[in-house]
Amino acid sequence: MTSSKLLWKRAEIIGCQIKREPEGSTERYTRWINTLTQEQLVTQVFTSHGPTVIMPTWFCSRKWFDYVGKFDEGGKGVPEDLLFFYENLRKGGSVFRVDHCLLLYRYHSEAATHAVLEETIWKNRVAFLEERVLSSWPSFTIWNAGKQGRRLYRSLSATNQKKVVSFCDVDQSKITKGFYTYQESKDKPKPKIPIFHFTDAKPPFIICVKLDLTGGGFEGNLNSLMLKEGLDYYHFS
């Protein structure tokens, strides 16, 4: 049996590549959704982009759909595709993308996806990250000592906050500052998390730096460390 047939047999949610209309809409997102490797369809499920194959392209068996639990019908503002996608993975399902563009996906400002609050998605993403990754890590580093990295730290459970051994960054002003102090903490003294240059930080990493935004600068830094995605780091932003 070919590797492709094995993937199809193992997958529970199957999708495809897409073309955006109008052309150029959500350019970074479209490039991401069309170029993820098969492994990244699973490792990059924590990013702000959402499901690694988009819902309009999904198909699966009725038996599997019923087993996962159908869609959350909570109404406007519920990220039903994200919740179903997460539950698919919890139930042992996999994901597979057909590498052909089989859908013309129209963008418009009134799409239902815009009704979902970013804070709702954030809370679900953090909870899933804690459940699937952080629960088994004894310690880790947050890559990004700026706004997004600090927000993630503050959003973690107390147990997982204690696992954060450092932040890392490339911004010399943040590195020179030396520490991030969690002022909202009720602990005394307040937790102070050291900030290192990324080359001096210790993996594993939760990376809070957006992909495809620095002309390859961030990606080059990450590749220079010779780490393995899904083992030494996960993308979160």
Return the structure tokens found at 43: 């490792």
Query: For position 55, what pLDDT does the model report?
Result: 95
Tell me: pLDDT of 194 over 60: yes
Tell me: pLDDT of 9 over 90: no
Share of the chain above pLDDT 90, in %: 82
Which range, of 7-21, 44-58, 151-165, averages the lowest pLDDT? 7-21
Average pLDDT, the chain: 92
In this prediction, residues 168-189 reach a mean pLDDT of: 95
Identity of residue 9? K
In this structure, are residues 41 and 96 in contact, taking their beta carbons and an 8 Å threshold? yes
Q: What is the DSSP letter of 100?
A: E
Query: For position 70, what pLDDT does the model report?
Result: 86
Tell me: pLDDT of 6 over 80: no
The number of CA neighbours under 13 Å toward the Cβ of 157 is 9
Task: Walk me through the domains of the chain, giving residue ranges and CATH numbers.
Answer: 3-120 (no CATH), 133-235 (3.40.50)
Q: What confidence tier does 206 reach under pLDDT thresholds 50, 70, 90?
A: very high
Q: What is the CA radius of gyration of the chain?
A: 19
**pTM of the entire predicted model:** 0.92
Query: For position 113, what pLDDT does the model report?
Result: 61
Helix (H, G, I), strand (E, B) or coil at 88: helix
Identity of residue 31? R
Q: What confidence tier does 122 reach under pLDDT thresholds 50, 70, 90?
A: very high
Q: What confidence tier does 108 reach under pLDDT thresholds 50, 70, 90?
A: low
In this prediction, residues 37-48 reach a mean pLDDT of: 97
Query: For position 125, what pLDDT does the model report?
Result: 98
Query: For position 114, what pLDDT does the model report?
Result: 57
Share of the chain above pLDDT 70, in %: 92
Tell me: pLDDT of 109 over 80: no
Tell me: pLDDT of 107 over 80: no
Query: For position 110, what pLDDT does the model report?
Result: 60
